[in-house]
Amino acid sequence: MPTTPAAAAHSSSNGTADAIMLELVDENGNTVGTAEKLAAHQAPGQLHRAFSVFLFDEQGRLLLQRRALGKYHSPGVWSNTCCGHPYPGEAPFAAAARRTYEELGVSPSLLAAAGTVRYNHPDPMSGLVEQEFNHLFVGMVQERLRPDEEEVGETAFVTAGELAERHAAAPFSAWFMTVLDAARPAIRELTGPSAGW
Q: Which of 90, 103, 130, 132 is catalytic?
A: 132
- 149 an active-site residue? no
CA–CA dist 45, 186 (Å, integer): 29
Burial (0-12, 13-18, 19+ Cβ within 10 Å), 30: exposed
Give the amino acid at 125: M
- 150 an active-site residue? no
Q: Which of 82, 83, 103, 130 is catalytic?
A: 83
Residues 65, 103 contacting (CB under 8 angstroms): yes
What three-state secondary structure class fits 42?
A: strand
What three-state secondary structure class fits 138?
A: strand
Give the amino acid at 61: R
- Residues labelled as active-site residues: 83, 132
